[in-house]
Amino acid sequence: MDPLHPLNLDDFSDLIVRPDGGVRRDAEELRERLTVRPGALGRLDELGEWLSAAQSRVRVRPVAQPKVVVFAGDHGVAALGVSGRPAGTAHVLVRSLLDGESPLAVLARSMDVPVRVVDAGLDCDPELLPESVTRHRVRRGSGRIDVEDALTPEETEAAVRLGMAIADEEADSGTDLVVLGDLSVGGTTPAATLIAALCGTDASVVTGRGGAGIDDLAWMRKCAAVRDALRRARPVLGDQLALLGAVGGADLAATTGFLLQAAVRRLPVVLDGVVGAACGLVAQRAAFRAPDWWLAGQVSGEPAQAKALDRMALNPLLDQGVLVGEGTGALLALPLVRAAAALAAELPERPEPTTPDAAASVGAV
């Protein structure tokens, strides 16, 4: 998209095509001829066929250059006590990740997968983190969505364009699959608001306890914040950019831009928790084909995530009760995706029967 012209997310609808349906049908036909009977590998068959369509080739290439991309930010609504962590402390989580001490860092190291952290809206002095992380920051923290917009229109467009640029950089560098994560304090509140607004449901139905965990009193405060933010969201439901500016945040807007541009670039993405699901739902509203390029990595336990994934027809790969966020649960799904790719690429076809007896014996297996 031309950076000199105003951004219109609806334009993505014309730019995004579905993964190659013809190649997927060819992959399904090949699967019928492999030595292991169809269905014996469960969802790995489905994953392999999805990868075939995404790569536009029947015999799948290995997932050789995956990367974890994490968008980070702070949210003003955290000041209401809706999170298990103090407001404005997401940079501490980022520091733990960069120092190799967080669950995501440990898993990424064990799998030899690089991690990229993008500061879209952290509320900290830039000097506390490496310049490579903070140089993209759109603003310091996002507004308190129950009473004010999260972003100005200019900041919203800048954040979405940031996500688009990161997607282009990853596609151009040879990344062949992205595990998408998020790091924030207060981020599940705007995520729940976006999902409630787009699914037409009430605050209590979508409000969970977040990755940090909150008590009943904090949950009630969070419900109230989502309720008040919903009132501000409904008048702008027809405009995805305005919606992200009103009740999203810099990190959510950047994530939405990333998801849309990754689909344009035919770069598969594995979603993690409720924040990624909320951004995916906004992206789907702009371009209905976009979710065909994504996998749902895990069930996060957040009720809003379940509603969003159902709306996008995405079936999570794992349900291990992982609540820590960052992209941890989605990264745990990566070995399954790699296994599906290896099986789709390497399983041999059954030999053609040469005699009636041989044909009978093959059919009996």
By annotation, the residues acting in catalysis are 326
Look at phi and psi of residue 6 and say left if phi exceeds 0, alpha if psi is from -120 to 50, else beta.
beta
- Alpha carbon distance 61, 81 (integer Å): 47
Burial of 248 (0-12, 13-18, 19+ CB in 10 A): buried
d(CA 353, CA 364): 12
Q: Where are the alpha helices (DSSP H) in the chain?
A: 12-15, 21-32, 43-55, 90-98, 103-111, 131-134, 153-173, 188-199, 203-206, 216-233, 240-247, 250-264, 274-286, 303-312, 328-332, 334-346, 356-364
Structure token digits, residue 320:
């291990």
Q: What is the DSSP letter of 327?
A: T
Count CB neighbours of 215 within 10 A.
10
Strand partners, 34: 349
- Residue 33: its H or E element: none
Strand, helix or coil for residue 269: strand
Which residues are CB-neighbours of 18 under 8 A, at least 6 positions away? 53, 289, 292
SS3 string of 135-182?
CCCCCCCECCCCCCCCCCHHHHHHHHHHHHHHHHHHHHHCCCEEEEEE
Helix or strand or coil: residue 231?
helix
- Paired tokens of 166: 């990161």
